[in-house]
Chains A and B, each alone.
Chain A
């Protein structure tokens, strides 16, 4: 019976085949020079049947008997048709077309050809950031986008990244760009609350990304209204294409070390430390007896020489595995992916593991209706040690703990609770690395469901409901015996023997839960109308409505009082005796917006664009709930003009100009409200107090960017050049205006203050050499930005490490100018004032002066790619210049004897020793030499650097071998990341990348990584 059925089924199939009378046509598509074109589209005219060419340019397509014509098209080429009557093989050469060479770029609420744009948009393909040893895609953007500064503050796996697009425009509000993934506005940056540094974008697998667009000027970004001031980054995830299902497998492994080390900033060994410290005591005037007793307490005769730097730093590891499948037919396409990424940092107790899965499907329900959905999920577990001045920071102990003290006792156990390591001073972090826990677990689901309805020709309705869900769990444990968690009973010694713990409070565990659920619902109508039938004059318009609601829920609890068992098995709050912290609340914000975009195109020559958005937000004060934002832009495609067409080498040539107004709504959720808080208790009963002065006028900061740009192509797009000049004025800056303290409040957040950024961006890319088997492509980009504060409340500067003052860059270091060492007596000298005419050895007499900025003058990258037969060599050099970097903690390890009980770095050995010595490090005196350790320019170094950000050598197996192995493609590579770094200033202690504010914080160092990997396609 079963056999019979099978037979019947087979007959049915055969019948169908015969009835259809299909046939197969094959051939090869090449360019004008005869080189194969991969991924060219081959479509049957009048149907939706089609295929794409293989890497060798060949194709094979089954066509119905009714088919008469095939349409061939490829990026950068003119579309061509071919009659197939009576043919089974068609080989075709596609002609180059400058206009078709324009890539299609994802822009706000749609896509656009470059030639249709009026705004400044930079974009990169997903392939340019995939398989890199970075825990989040924002780290991969460095050097890739003109005008976008991407700097790390830490090399910790999963660390946050700071992105500044066209400079800093705000003092109080956020300077981070708006992130939009597949049309949904997401919460980016560090959402953690207990972890040293985290980045929610680390839950997104860069290998799932198809393209990234960066919207920089008014014409491109103002449509995002009150959140566009810092630029907008649009992420589009990968989707499937009709055709055979493609499977891709990527595997990679590697290891990492510290990218930049300065030998002068390595800690002293025991002999060096003992030598300099004894010298310091002698210079202080200590008696031999005092020297002997002091040195005894510092391990002067311990005979130990322990390298804390080497103990805290290590070789990191890196691996990732990604699998994806994509394909579909003309009705339904899909993309599926799974990934695993693991990184161990270059410092002990730092790691990250990521598990990701992605799904995107799209279905054409009818000719008019398309529906789709996409979801990217990621789960990250990371372990991040303390940073900065925390006693538990392993990098801090690398520099601070004396080399005369070992992390281990002679019996091999940890050296803790000894006179060398009591619970009240610098901790033995090697011990704590295995005794304490600092976990973060992040789960993100980002995605959207969308539908499109082509109501009539040229009128389309689109609805996208996007979600962005993030769930963070933070588990921290500080053991009860030693370190941050240990609490001793009153009167107890701080180390054994006889140590008595406070049973109620020793040891602590935190459990933190944070949830963000954020949705964006966007409805748009997209319309195009030809005003002249010829198509010479047409306009496109888009109107839409968008609402967004982000809900945040969080709880933290802390328990204290663990059993003091040395086994430390119990590590969760449930095992504690004393509840300590109990925090829990919600925090929400919402936006509702109506917007429209319109373009008028005249003969493809002139394009005039305009955008308008009206934003309302829960964050804005009731008196300023809604704001209007707009832009106008124009472009002139000059290559369409006769007089340019005569210059045959230039095409395209495009001029762009735009101006508009957008905003920065990065205000805290409830800043506007005058409030009573319930944080004060009296006799353990709840009390209420005025907690926020509020400002019902509070509103977005305004940003008014003017952009003038040009896109020039030459030699048939062998050379492309994009240039932009911009000037953006930010007004209504949010600043804390001091109130009379008699009001009961110190300051009130108000919209006051003006700042300006102006700069230029240039990118050049080209193919200097192209032979049959050899191609060399190169690109270069450079960005220059100048920031200036224009006005502040009452013209009063805001003074800290930076001076925020009218006329100066907002990140100007405010410091006394170090003048070196008095060769006669070894005293440190400072200039009295900025004239640098006279010096003083009295720190207090020297004036602080605005010195230099922490923001670079310019930065950029140089990219080269050489392909020869199957080999590819990629190299990217990043550069950055003009900023100064502050070594925040240097007073401890560089001070001339200040805190002599902490270890020092080798630069201290350059100290002045005898009259006539010319050096920049003063005489070493126990306790410090005349406040040399006070902040001055000696702790600032030039941040100029050149870094080999990426170098990759790859090899693709040739088709002949591939076909024998029955695989579609195979690519092998070795890659080096940050392999080589060159800095200008020999006194730059640590990595030149220290966050957007260029201040070190003894964070995990930025790694250099070597990886080797393979990608297979099936």
Chain B
């Protein structure tokens, strides 16, 4: 009897063991159904293409390039001011009183490094080279260069001021535990130029102007050199784009239509690179169009002195419409960004051929005034604006002024004023306490965000002065 009991006992144990064994290790591995581990998400050529779209989508963050970036370039300068009737956004930039924990500056910093991470993962992919892979990697290099170019201009002093000063942390690969320090400004520019050289070499395809192409990268490099004060290289790069890129400057007759067009074009007119927003993917009401256009928030108004710069015949003048807001006369920026929330949303222009012509013009000075006039008036003639005829220092001023008129509300103005190390006077549209903006004003550049200081002990001693 005893033996039978033991026999049954053994059987029972076997049953239990079988039940355990039936659950293999895979039973405890449940992979997420809507996401992939990085190695599976970046395994093939078409995966790189999807990741590249993700990197472009990273540029579309509200606090990055579809609003805060291009907006601050005009609001911190003298082109855009905040109406008294407003939704409470960016008011500290109107009054020059933002602080170290400013949400928009923090968002910009985060947005830039988020996009850099996405680009890094493409650049560092071991997938074998072919035409497509080279193109994707080239675009990723250009995106990374663009991100560092924005970062180093917003968060560090101009290269033209102190090349050896503190730039921004250089992050070239993914490491969530890293606590990087700020690299030198010159090191950041070296990286940008290296990336743009790679981009120029690797890219051979043109899809449409919402993606980087060979000559968009070169145009960006022209701008980078100009910002560094390297006029020779700036001119060479600009002329490469003008002569070899196959892009054309939009004509006066098509100017209004160019700005009202909402879908990406492939005909190489005017835009070298812009960030796409459409019905399914956009920042919604938190895009650039909604903050300028009176059909949206309409908080941002064109300053009176900028509007006064346009000649009556200038087609660019019709992008702006005088009216009143809250009972106060105001010049609206409705027609530059007509696509507001609810419709297809206006894209954010990043690089245009007109900019490249004006770079070529500026970079020709002081040595080559005739060509400077030719490049500058290539633009004025296509805007039915008054031609520039000045010489010497006045010619330089006219070209800078032409840049202001052509590139208004595209985020360029502050960048020009900073690289030229100029103090400036904002119009009476701005609060009286925030009109005279000296070059020495520490708020000409943004603070390293509090969130970075809190999480990264290595950068704590490297805050920008004044914050």
| Residues in A lying within 8 Å of B, measured CB to CB | 453, 455-456, 459, 461, 463, 490-491, 502, 521, 523, 525, 543-545, 547, 549, 585-592, 594, 616-618, 625, 669-670, 673-678, 680-693, 738-746, 748, 796
Contact = CB atoms under 8 A, between A and B. Distances in A.
A592 B169 contact: no
Given A490-B342, A681-B53, A743-B178, A585 B34 contact: yes
Contact of A680 (B12, B20, B57): B57
A456 B5 contact: yes
A743 B5 contact: no
Contacts of B9: 455-456, 459
B366 interface: no
B33 A692 contact: no
A547 B342 CA distance: 50
Interface in B156-208: 169, 171, 174-180, 208
Contact of A743 (B37, B174, B342): B174
Contact of A742 (B31, B33, B113, B278): B113
Max chain B C-beta neighbours (<10 A), residue from A545, A589, A616: A545
A664 to B, nearest CB: 18
B32 A670 contact: yes
B30 A618 contact: yes
Contacts of B5: 455-456
A490 B5 CA distance: 84
A686 B46 CA distance: 11
B28 A592 contact: yes
B34 A677 contact: yes
B15 A682 contact: no
A591 B278 CA distance: 44
26 contacts: A455-B8, A455-B9, A456-B9, A490-B295, A525-B12, A545-B20, A588-B33, A625-B28, A669-B30, A670-B30, A670-B31, A673-B31, A674-B37, A675-B37, A675-B38, A676-B42, A681-B280, A683-B276, A687-B52, A687-B56, A688-B36, A688-B41, A738-B451, A742-B456, A743-B117, A746-B110
Interface in B425-455: 449, 451-452, 454-455
Contacts of B12: 453, 455, 459, 461, 525
A46 B300 CA distance: 95
A673 B37 contact: yes
Interface in B22-71: 23, 27-38, 40-42, 47, 50-58, 60
B121 interface: yes
A674 B38 contact: yes
Given A461-B16, A676-B40, A683-B208, 13 more contacts: A523-B16, A525-B16, A545-B16, A586-B33, A587-B33, A677-B34, A680-B281, A681-B281, A683-B276, A686-B53, A688-B36, A689-B55, A741-B106
Contacts of B30: 588-590, 618, 669-670
B210 interface: yes
B179 A740 contact: yes
Nearest to A549: B27
A682 B118 contact: no
B32 A744 contact: no
A796 to B, nearest CB: 7
Contact of B19 (A523, A740, A748): A523
B90 to A, nearest CB: 21
B50 A686 contact: yes
A675 B121 CA distance: 13
Contact of A456 (B8, B60, B180): B8
Nearest to A504: B342
Nearest to A453: B12
Nearest to A547: B23
B224 interface: no
Interface string B207-222: 0101000000000000
Interface residues of B, number: 71
A681 B57 contact: yes
Given A682-B57, A687-B50, A594 B20 contact: yes
Given A547-B23, A680-B281, A742 B169 contact: yes
B27 A685 contact: no
Contacts of A673: 31-32, 35, 37
A745 B54 contact: no
A590 B110 contact: no
A668 B58 CA distance: 26
Nearest to B57: A680
A257 to B, nearest CB: 42
A588 B109 CA distance: 36
Contact of B27 (A590, A683, A688, A743): A590
B228 to A, nearest CB: 23
Nearest to B264: A683
Nearest to A553: B33
Contacts of B50: 678, 685-688
B185 to A, nearest CB: 16
B75 to A, nearest CB: 23
Interface in B274-324: 276, 278, 280-281, 295
Contacts of A692: 35
A748 B176 contact: yes
Contacts of A670: 30-32, 35
Nearest to B17: A545
A549 B27 CA distance: 8
Contact of A590 (B28, B47, B171): B28
Nearest to A681: B281
A739 B179 CA distance: 8
Given A455-B8, A461-B12, A682-B276, A742 B58 contact: no
Given A456-B5, A594-B20, A685 B176 contact: no
Contacts of A738: 451, 454-455
B41 A592 contact: no
Contact of B281 (A491, A586, A684): A684
Nearest to A685: B53
A678 B46 CA distance: 13
Contacts of A748: 176
A596 to B, nearest CB: 11
A746 B176 CA distance: 9
A691 B27 CA distance: 25
Contact of B456 (A459, A591, A625, A740): A740
A547 B23 CA distance: 8
B125 interface: no
B391 interface: no
B116 interface: yes
Contacts of B113: 741-744
A675 B28 CA distance: 18
Query: Which 3 A-B pairs give the minimum distances between C-beta atoms?
Result: A744-B117, A687-B53, A676-B41
B32 A669 contact: yes
Contacts of A796: 454
A796 B453 CA distance: 13
A745 B174 CA distance: 10
Contacts of A589: 30
Contacts of B16: 461, 523, 525, 543-545
Interface string B81-125: 000000000000000000000000010011001101110010000
B171 A689 contact: no
A589 B32 CA distance: 10
Contacts of B114: 744
A678 B35 contact: yes
B121 A690 contact: yes
A739 B175 CA distance: 10
B374 to A, nearest CB: 36
B342 A693 contact: no
Given A455-B8, A456-B5, A592-B23, A676 B36 contact: yes
| Most chain B Cβ neighbours within 10 Å, of A461, A669, A740 | A740
A592 to B, nearest CB: 5
B180 A682 contact: no
A491 B294 CA distance: 11
A414 B34 CA distance: 45
A839 B191 CA distance: 55
A102 B188 CA distance: 78
